[in-house]
Amino acid sequence: MKRTQCYCCCGQLALVSNSSVVEVAQCPGCGSLLTEFPKSERHEDDPWQLQSVTPTFLEALRLRRDRQAGAIIKRFGLELRKGKLLDYGCGQGAFVLYARGQGLDAAGCDISSINLKPEIADSFVALSEPWEIPDLSAVRTISFLDVLEHVEHPDQIVDKLFASGVENVLIKVPMLHGPIGLIAHTLARFGKLGLLHRLLLVDEPAPHYSFFTSKGLKKLFEERGFVLADSVRIADVGSELPQRLRGMEGEPSLRLVRSSRRAWGARWP
């Protein structure tokens, strides 16, 4: 594995598994899993144009996003209503549409608009290249819902977010300490890699490069100037997405972090 240090806490990585399709290492300091894909060229296609992205799949994904959006706005709505919200990697824009319906000033951005809902096209921000950070001068909160785990270098993204001066970053990621994540990790240590590979979406254009723990996610942002404002665990609705294991990625977590330059009442659960 080319990377030797964890980008969350700078701990020395220990190899968990090594196969022809993916290498997986774990940080003994924060417990997060990091991956490298030797054949990364397989992951350059637009995931929204796969044959598996059918109308049925998109409708199931919309339902899932609507349910999760309710939990997000119930917990963070008071803060989110204080300024503009930009949903990074918005996909169809389901979260943006739901947020608007709740009275929020919300917009979305993504590299692809192929499945974007026409109702939010007026405020859509098109990214010119993968993982570009757009102008956030008018944005109070930027959300990354099931996005950060797909970034090969999340530390660089967090550095850019801090440099932008954005007030809040709202994150939802699958967590390694969820029941399925722990089972997959344990099986991998005995050479049984099937479940872990499925959770990491190894055969898809947008695989997971990280499987965070709470400690690792905290360190990733703390080391780059952010502090936690609030967090909550939510159930990941996944049974409506058969054969994609969207509901078996571990126990997801939502975290609202703020720039330390404007930090307030930071606390960790």
Examine residue 65 and state whether it is found in any structural domain, yes or no: yes
Helices marked H in the chain — which ranges?
55-80, 94-101, 154-164, 179-189, 194-199, 214-222
Q: What is the pLDDT of residue 62?
A: 64
Rounded Cα distance between 260 and 227, Å, is 6
What DSSP designation does 232 have? E
Q: What is the pLDDT of residue 49?
A: 57
Structure tokens at 77: 């709505």
Rounded Cα distance between 168 and 173, Å, is 16
Examine residue 173 and state whether it is found in any structural domain, yes or no: yes
- Residue span of the structural domain in which 78 resides: 14-262
Q: What is the pLDDT of residue 136?
A: 96
Instruction: List the CATH number of the domain containing 205.
Output: 3.40.50.150
Candidates 111, 91, 108; CA nearest to 44 is 111
Q: What is the pLDDT of residue 58?
A: 61
Rounded Cα distance between 124 and 266, Å, is 32
Helices 94-101, 55-80: axis angle to 10 degrees equals: 40
Contact 24, 17 (CB under 8 A): yes
Examine residue 169 and state whether it is found in any structural domain, yes or no: yes
Examine residue 201 and state whether it is found in any structural domain, yes or no: yes
Examine residue 158 and state whether it is found in any structural domain, yes or no: yes
Rounded Cα distance between 9 and 32, Å, is 10
Contact 166, 136 (CB under 8 A): yes
Q: What is the pLDDT of residue 131?
A: 93
Q: What is the pLDDT of residue 252?
A: 45
Question: What Å distances lie between residue 192 and 162, 201, 250, CA to CA?
Answer: 39, 16, 18
Domain count, the chain: 1
Contact 136, 144 (CB under 8 A): no
Q: What is the pLDDT of residue 104?
A: 96
Examine residue 268 and state whether it is found in any structural domain, yes or no: no
Candidates 245, 253, 249; CA nearest to 182 is 249
Examine residue 2 and state whether it is found in any structural domain, yes or no: no
Examine residue 5 and state whether it is found in any structural domain, yes or no: no
The per-residue pLDDT string of the chain (269 residues; one tens digit each, 9 = 90 and over) reads 888 999 999 999 999 888 888 899 999 999 999 999 876 544 445 555 555 556 666 666 667 777 788 889 999 999 999 999 999 999 888 899 999 999 999 999 998 887 788 899 999 999 999 899 999 999 999 999 989 999 999 999 999 999 999 999 999 988 887 777 788 888 888 888 888 888 888 877 788 899 999 999 999 999 999 999 888 887 665 444 444 444 333 444 555 665 544 333 333 33
Candidates 169, 159, 170; CA nearest to 72 is 170
Structure tokens at 150: 């797909």
Rounded Cα distance between 120 and 193, Å, is 40
